[in-house]
Amino acid sequence: MNLNKKTVKDIDLKGKKIIMRADFNVPLDGTTITDDTRIRAALPTINYVLKEGASLILMSHLGRPKGFDKKFSLKPVAEYLSDLLGQNIPVVEDCLGEEATEKATEMTPGTVIMLDNTRYYKEEQGKIKTDGMSDDEAVAAKSQMKQKQKAMAKKLASYADVYVNDAFGTAHRAHASTAVICDYMDECVSGFLIEKEIKFLGGVVANPEHPFVAIIGGAKVSGKLEVLETLLTKVDYILIGGGMAYTFLKALGHNVGGSLVENDLLETAKKTLDAAEKAGVNFMLPTDNLAADNFANDAEIKLVGQDIEDGWMALDVGPETAKAYAEVISKAKTVVWNGPMGCFEMPNFADATNVVCKAVAESSATSIIGGGDSVSAVQKSGLADQMSHISTGGGASLEFLEGKTLPGIAALNDR
């Protein structure tokens, strides 16, 4: 995948209509936005487009609606953004209907409209369930859905002169509004968010500074196998935390009590440890753990080593481990962090995650935080502004680090 992509700064925008895919998949409490991070992250590109004398059509998905459902409308986002931009942003409910065509046609430089949830339409994702169908019926149904997806992308493309993708969180999906649309437009460029993601994540993939430390946590090994495999060819240290640590410890013969374990991946875990040894990578596992007698903040807690008694479960790595990890991080030149060290949502099991967070913030390394929970932990710590880059896409950042092609980036114009 060529990462040298054109951005909004590389083309003339004056007097043009821009259709921009943003990531406004924000958390809502009813119609109240509880975290505006993703909206504010899109502002630099939005403001630049408007400053350059273009009109702007915004589109995004929100949640997982099954057809038209007002609970998943982008109207709260449009209202919030209206206040930030100082102009009313109308929402077009049916983004493939006549109203959308009319609104787009009427636009003048400096104005903004928003198309409602692109996932109101099955053809956005281009997937169809084929349960109960014969092989021939399934092939025909999938082909028909792909044609509908192309028709949706073509319709969206008809509204504008230029396509801008600034939704890195969905760049790993070949959806109508993220990738297929580029088949029907000549000018397809990135916004500033995707440009930044390419700069930092692309740099890690292509040419990281050493020592290179990867901190990998979270619940399961299964979601991180491919990134671990890729990182083994690049890093000097891998620091393991979270629930996934106990699959590795069990694979080494330790008793892990009631801790989270993927028993079907024990052999895979052994192979990963062997591969790390052959690659000369220091693959560090917890040497002590905080064990609890049940999954609750007010559970009885005790500090244990690498073996955990039956009836107890590890919910955080221990202070000795956190200190050892922090020491490694302090000497790093590049740090990638994906996944917390424990159940940080519960205060009694947040210590190790906080220690690691502080160590990353205080290090002189280029630090890249990717993945929803690690991003939440960093923001909760108040140290977010001390990180080099906080990725806006959990799944997308993982796939990028795995070396996979991201359709939403690959489809953009090369420089």
119 counts as catalytic = no
299-312 burial: b if 16+ Cβ within 10 Å, else e: bebeebebebeeeb
Cβ contact 111:75 at 8 Å: no
> Phi then psi for 236, rounded to 5 degrees?
-100, -30
Token digits of residue 240: 């393991």
Q: Is the peptide bond before 65 cis (omega within 30 degrees of 0)?
A: no
Cα Rg of the chain, angstroms:
23
Nearest-angstrom CA–CA distance, 93 and 121: 12
Catalytic residue selected from 142, 395, 403, 404? 395
Question: Which long-range contacts (C-beta less than 8 Å, at least 24 apart) are formed by 67-75?
Answer: 67/120, 68/93, 68/120, 69/120, 72/117, 72/119, 72/120, 73/116, 73/117, 74/24, 74/114, 74/115, 74/116, 74/117, 75/31, 75/116
Neighbours of 202 (CB within 10 A): 16
The backbone region for 142, taken as left when phi is positive above 0, alpha when psi lies in -120 to 50, beta otherwise, is: alpha
Is 280 marked active-site?
A: no
Non-local (6+) Cβ contacts of 293 within 8 A are 299, 300, 311, 312
At residue 359, what is the residue type?
A: A
Largest CA distance in the chain: 69
Catalytic, 372? Answer yes
Q: Is 382 a catalytic residue?
A: no
The backbone region for 40, taken as left when phi is positive above 0, alpha when psi lies in -120 to 50, beta otherwise, is alpha
Evaluate whether 94 touches 116 at the Cβ level (below 8 Å): yes
The residue from 202, 203, 372, 403 that is catalytic is 372
Coil, strand or helix: which one is 308? strand
Question: Which of 245, 269, 273 minimizes the C-alpha distance to 343?
Answer: 245
Say which of 5, 17, 38, 119 is annotated catalytic.
38
Rounded to an integer, what distance in angstroms lies between the CA atom of residue 130 and that of residue 134?
A: 8
Q: Of 142, 220, 333, 358, which residue is the catalytic one? A: 220
Token pair 């990717």 is at which residue? 370
CA distance 25 to 21: 11
The strand ranges marked E within 282-413 are 282-284, 289-292, 301-304, 313-317, 334-338, 366-369, 389-390
Instruction: State the catalytic residues.
Output: 38, 220, 372, 395
